[in-house]
Structures are given as structure tokens and as C-alpha cells.
Chain A
Amino acid sequence: MRARDLVSAFPTVSLDTPVIDAARLLTEQDLPGLIVIDDDGLPLSILPGTQVLRLAVPGYCQDDPALARVVDEAHADVFLRSLAGRTVREALPTKPRELPVTDPDATVLEIAALMARTRSPLVAIVDAGRLRGAVTLQALLDRLLAS
């Protein structure tokens, strides 16, 4: 079994997508994460759901975890409001990291190893300079456990 047998179409967002829309896409379609594509349609960043959430967490709470505790409930409840109009481009972490991207020939073991290493519940499949879709953790485990 190879990546091409497991790949399925996967929605993408661009750098100019508002973070709030990206978050909505995640919940409405119950996705494990998001693929951010560049102008050529290739994966620029692949964000697990928790990292999509990170886009919305105020920078000061990321720099200093103690500060999340001092904010009162009323303000904490509405922290998403501070996002107003911010795009994925502005919220993406600046440090480049290894992308969970592979080709259709990858074996399930390769995909599993890549997911584990990059802590990503989805792996993008790129073939001949085009994004084919993604293999999700769910799809991978379903097939592995069934066989």
C-alpha cells in the first residue's frame, strides 16, 4: 500500500485567508489540520489543528505562558476577537520547520514515520509539482488496523 492508495482531496487555505476563516474551515469540515499553499499551489506550511489555534493565541501568551493565567474569564472568553482581519500570513510562525510532504510512492511506514516526526496528523502528497491531496492520520490508521 502506498500514499497514492490513501490520498484524498484536501481543502487548502492561502496566505491571504483570514485566520478566522481558516479556523471555521477546520471546524466545519472537521479537519485534523490545514494546508497553507503558496502562489504556485504548493504546500508552504502544514498546520495541525493545535497550530491553527496557535495562530489565534496572543503573542504575549506564547512568549510567556504565565500570562494566560492572569487574564480574567470575561476577556479570555473573547480572545478570538483580537484576530479581527488578521491573515494567515501575519500569524504564521517565522521559523521554518520540516513539512510533512511526500510523494505518491511513499509507503505507509514512510508516511507514519513522517507524521510521527513532524507531529502532524496529515501529510500532503505532491506529485510532479502539483498538490494531489493529503493522507490523514485517520485514513492511515483505518487502513492499517483493517488489514
Chain B
Amino acid sequence: MTATAWLAVVVFLGAYTLIATERIHRVVAALGGAGIMLTVHATDAESAFFSEQSGIDWNVVFLLLGMMIIVGVLKQTGVFEYLAIWAAKRARGRPYRLMVLLVVITAGASALLDNVTTVLLIAPVTFLVCERLALPVAPYLIAEAMASNIGGAATLVGDPPNIIIASRGGLSFNDFLIHMAPMVVVLMAVFVGLCRLMFRRAFVYDPDRAADIMGLDEREAIADRKLLRQSLTVLALVMTAFVLHPVLHYEPSVVALLGAGILVALTKVTTEQAIAEVEWPTLVFFAGLFVMVGALVNTGVIGQISQAAAGATEGRLGLTTMGLLWASAGLSAVVDNIPYVATMSPIVADLVQANGGNESAQVLWWALAFGADLGGNATAVGAAANVIIVGIAARNRTPISFWEFTRYGLVVTVVTVALVTPYLWLRYLL
């Protein structure tokens, strides 16, 4: 390897360490790293801005942007609050039933929207319902964070790692529906059962309190019915367009941007309000990551790692898949799964090619997606949704400690990844 290549590795590892340890803001770490890569000519503007292999993946950035705007409008409608309170009333104050309904709603919403938004919307209403029923709120919050990570794995737009994997692997929305979603449904069913065991001490039914819950009026949560109708229509159109990609030939990023544009044009929401809902730091973080990883591609580092990995696992697709699944889960438990997947994607792309590049080799992409998405459940810092939930809990004086979360998280991660292992084996490797 050249001196520039070694330098790129050092810069990359330094930035990665700073992101993982949160010593400085992750945007500063990613952009700082990207800046140094450009300064030392490990990459250049041509490559960073225009290269499909080693540049910023604009499909990812613009898909995120479009979905952020759509979600920003959707969350103003009160539909999540409506659903959660409706669920609490349907559960008639039965604690376990309530948890089942809340985690299913969370998982479903996370499959269509991003996980962070979903837990930000579901957490406050969980506090209200648990306070009414005199139930400990922490088990519900923990279960919701995990459900959002599991549910998010189901679709292309459910979890940022999936968006990166789809773009880098040339996988469609329907590919995710066919290969990820069915197993996610199974995982959710198992997770619901696990909740019964893990949180059994939290389920204390109080009939007097249960009657109280009926006093909540979910219809009051919907502030503007017209906006709700418009938003749900656009969301349905966007999802339909994702599914109809083979017919319509619109990329997911284009669909999301068109959906966002139509939504802002049709509704009373102004452009300024829509733009204010976008998490610009996240988008810039992605751009910085892509430039850093691109520098590793340009300097041949990724190529060498891929070659070594392909050589070491040659002809043993099964072993490679299982190694990738469990290693991804382990690494995503301790570091943010977004930079992990951004780095691994070019390597996995090479490995898929080395294994024939056909549909059976694509199992590596699914191993990466399952590993990264489910690994996020293992610790309180494994996924953005977990960090958000722990933060909200602390702010509301019901702190969830790192170990309280992790104790349950490890169980859920090991069980879910252990279930994915035979799924991948039986479906793709036999």
C-alpha cells in the first residue's frame, strides 16, 4: 500500500474512534476526516462529488431528505398519538396487551418511517398512558426502542443502514419486502413473546386505573383532519411508487423527493416549516462518511480488504454469510451502525461479485442488514432510537441506566440473530 493509503487508514480509524466514543460531535468527526482525506489527496472533488463508487451517495442523502420532510409533516397530524391512545383503550388497561399493541404500532411505523421519529412520537404518549395506569414506564420504553429497530429492518426506508445497503447493492424496495420483511414479522412475533418473559414483573393490572384510561379522547389528538388525509394519501402514494419501481422506474430518492414536494405544495405547511424539520446535521454526517469511505476505495484499501476477505472465505459462502451476520451484530452493538454499514458496503459489494454476483450471493447483503439492524438492540448506545429513548426517560425523571437497557438488549439481540441464522441458511445457502 502507498503512503497515502496508510495515511487514509489512520485518518479513517481516528475519525471512527471519535464517532464511536462521542468525544466530539459526530458531524465534526466525519467532516474533519473528510477534510483531511481531501487535503492529503486520498480523494478529490471529482471523486467525492461525482463518483458512484467512491463519492457521496446522493441517492441515500436525498432519500433521507425526502423522507424527513414527509415525516415532519406527518408528525404534525397527531396520527401516532391517536393510534397509541386507541391501542391503550383497546387493551382495556391490561398491561401486557398494551405493550403488545404499542410495540406492534412502533414496529409498523418504523418500517415506513425512520426509527428516531417513531420513538420520539411514541414515547410521550407512553408516559401519559403508563402514568394513568400506574405502570412502570421503563419496560414499555425499552420495548418500543427495540421494536423500532426490529421493525425498521423490514423495508428499504425503515432504517438508514438499509438505505445505504439498497443503494450500494442495487437492491430495490421490493427486494427488502421479499427478503427482509417476512423474517421481521417472525422476529416481531418472537419479540412479543420475549417481552412477556422479560418484563413480567411490570405487568400489574389495576381494574380501577384501567377504567381511567377510557377517559382519554384519542380523536382530540388529530388537530387537522384535512392535513391528516393529505399526509396519509401522499405517504400511501410514496409507498406505492416504491413498490411499483419495476413499472415506474423512479429511484426511491426521486420518489421521496417528489412525495415531499407534493406534500408541501398541497398542504398548508410552508416550505420554511418543512425545511426546519430536516435534520441537516445527519445529512452532512452521511456526506462526510461517504467521502471518508471513498478515500479508502480510491487508495485501494477497500480493494485489498475485499481481496483478503474473498481469499480467506473463497467458496465458502455459508461461512462468510454467518461470519458477516454475527460480526455485524457484534460491532453494531458498540458502534453506530450507520458508519459501520457505510464502510462495509463496498467490501460486501466486492464479496458479492467474488461469489458470482447472482441472487444467491446477495445473501451477504441480507446478512449485513440483519446484523447491523438487530445488533443495534444489544446496548443502550447501539442504535439512535435507544439513545433517544434513554434521553427522554432521563428528562422525565425515570432514568433507564445503560445496564438496565443492555440487560434486555443482549437477550433480544442474541435471540433474534440466532433466529436469522437458520433463516438465511435454509433460504439461501442450502
Query: Which residue in chain A gives the minimum CB-CB distance to B81?
Result: A66
CA distance A40 to B239 in the complex (A): 59
Residues of B within 8 A of A129 (CB): none
Within 209-227 of B, Cβ neighbours of A (below 8 Å) are at 212, 215-218, 220-221, 223
Residues of chain B touching chain A, judged by Cβ–Cβ distance below 8 Å, are 78, 81, 85, 120-121, 123-125, 127-128, 131-132, 212, 215-218, 220-221, 223, 392, 395-397
Contact residue among A60, A66, A67 (Cβ-Cβ distance under 8 Å from B396):
A60
Query: What is the CB-to-nearest-CB distance from B121 to chain A, in angstroms, rounded to a whole number?
Result: 7
Interface check A94, CB cutoff 8 A: yes
Residues of B within 8 A of A90 (CB): 397
Interface check A97, CB cutoff 8 A: no
Residues of chain A touching chain B, judged by Cβ–Cβ distance below 8 Å, are 58-61, 63-64, 66-67, 69-72, 74-75, 82, 90, 94
Contacts A59-B397, A71-B215, A72-B216 given; 17 further ones with Cβ under 8 A? A59-B395, A59-B396, A60-B128, A61-B128, A64-B121, A64-B124, A66-B221, A67-B124, A67-B128, A67-B221, A69-B221, A69-B223, A70-B217, A74-B215, A75-B132, A75-B212, A82-B131
Residues of B within 8 A of A66 (CB): 78, 81, 221, 223
Contact residue among A58, A69, A70, A72 (Cβ-Cβ distance under 8 Å from B131):
A58
Contact residue among A70, A72, A74 (Cβ-Cβ distance under 8 Å from B81):
A70
Residues of B within 8 A of A70 (CB): 81, 85, 128, 216-218, 220-221
Of the A-B pairs whose beta carbons lie under 8 Å apart in the complex, a sample of 19, sorted by A's number, is: A58-B127, A58-B128, A59-B124, A59-B397, A60-B124, A60-B125, A60-B128, A60-B396, A61-B124, A63-B120, A66-B78, A66-B81, A70-B220, A70-B221, A71-B216, A72-B216, A75-B215, A90-B397, A94-B395
Contact yes or no, B81 A64, CB < 8 A: yes
CA distance A75 to B217 in the complex (A): 12
Query: What is the CB-to-nearest-CB distance from B134 to chain A, in angstroms, rounded to a whole number?
Result: 12
Residues of B within 8 A of A69 (CB): 217, 220-221, 223
Contact yes or no, A72 B215, CB < 8 A: yes
Contact residue among A61, A63, A71, A82 (Cβ-Cβ distance under 8 Å from B123):
A63
CA distance A59 to B398 in the complex (A): 11
CA distance A53 to B383 in the complex (A): 35
Residues of A within 8 A of B121 (CB): 64
Query: What is the CB-to-nearest-CB distance from B120 to chain A, in angstroms, rounded to a whole number?
Result: 8
A-side interface mostly: helix
Residues of A within 8 A of B217 (CB): 69-70, 72
CA distance A69 to B223 in the complex (A): 9
Residues of B within 8 A of A60 (CB): 124-125, 127-128, 131, 396
CA distance A100 to B285 in the complex (A): 36
CA distance A67 to B81 in the complex (A): 7
Most chain A C-beta atoms within 10 Å of own C-beta, residue among B85, B128, B217: B128
Query: What is the CB-to-nearest-CB distance from A63 to chain B, in angstroms, rounded to a whole number?
Result: 4
Residues of B within 8 A of A75 (CB): 132, 212, 215
Residues of A within 8 A of B397 (CB): 59, 90
CA distance A94 to B394 in the complex (A): 11
Contact residue among A58, A61, A63, A72 (Cβ-Cβ distance under 8 Å from B392):
A63
Query: What is the CB-to-nearest-CB distance from A64 to chain B, in angstroms, rounded to a whole number?
Result: 4
Query: What is the CB-to-nearest-CB distance from B89 to chain A, in angstroms, rounded to a whole number?
Result: 11
Given contacts A64-B81, A66-B223, contact A71 B395 (CB under 8 A): no
Query: What is the CB-to-nearest-CB distance from A16 to chain B, in angstroms, rounded to a whole number?
Result: 16
Rank and list the top 6 A-B pairs by shortest CB-CB distance, nearest first: A64-B124, A60-B124, A72-B215, A60-B127, A69-B220, A63-B124
Residues of B within 8 A of A64 (CB): 81, 121, 124-125
CA distance A139 to B131 in the complex (A): 43
Residues of B within 8 A of A72 (CB): 215-217
Query: What is the CB-to-nearest-CB distance from A23 to chain B, in angstroms, rounded to a whole number?
Result: 18
Query: Which residue in chain A gives the minimum CB-CB distance to B220?
Result: A69
Query: What is the CB-to-nearest-CB distance from A123 to chain B, in angstroms, rounded to a whole number?
Result: 29
Most chain B C-beta atoms within 10 Å of own C-beta, residue among A61, A70, A74: A70
Query: Which residue in chain A gives the minimum CB-CB distance to B78?
Result: A66
Residues of B within 8 A of A94 (CB): 395
Residues of A within 8 A of B392 (CB): 63
Query: Which residue in chain A gives the minimum CB-CB distance to B397?
Result: A90
CA distance A94 to B212 in the complex (A): 32
Query: What is the CB-to-nearest-CB distance from A114 to chain B, in angstroms, rounded to a whole number?
Result: 28
CA distance A101 to B15 in the complex (A): 41
CA distance A60 to B131 in the complex (A): 10
Query: Which residue in chain A gives the minimum CB-CB distance to B395?
Result: A59
CA distance A71 to B85 in the complex (A): 10
CA distance A58 to B131 in the complex (A): 10
Residues of B within 8 A of A59 (CB): 124, 127, 395-397
Residues of B within 8 A of A67 (CB): 81, 124-125, 128, 221
CA distance A59 to B137 in the complex (A): 13
Query: Which residue in chain B gives the minimum CB-CB distance to A91?
Result: B397
Residues of A within 8 A of B124 (CB): 59-61, 63-64, 67
CA distance A97 to B392 in the complex (A): 20
Most chain B C-beta atoms within 10 Å of own C-beta, residue among A60, A71, A82, A90: A60
Query: Which residue in chain A gives the minimum CB-CB distance to B222?
Result: A66
CA distance A61 to B392 in the complex (A): 13
CA distance A20 to B252 in the complex (A): 53
Residues of A within 8 A of B215 (CB): 71-72, 74-75
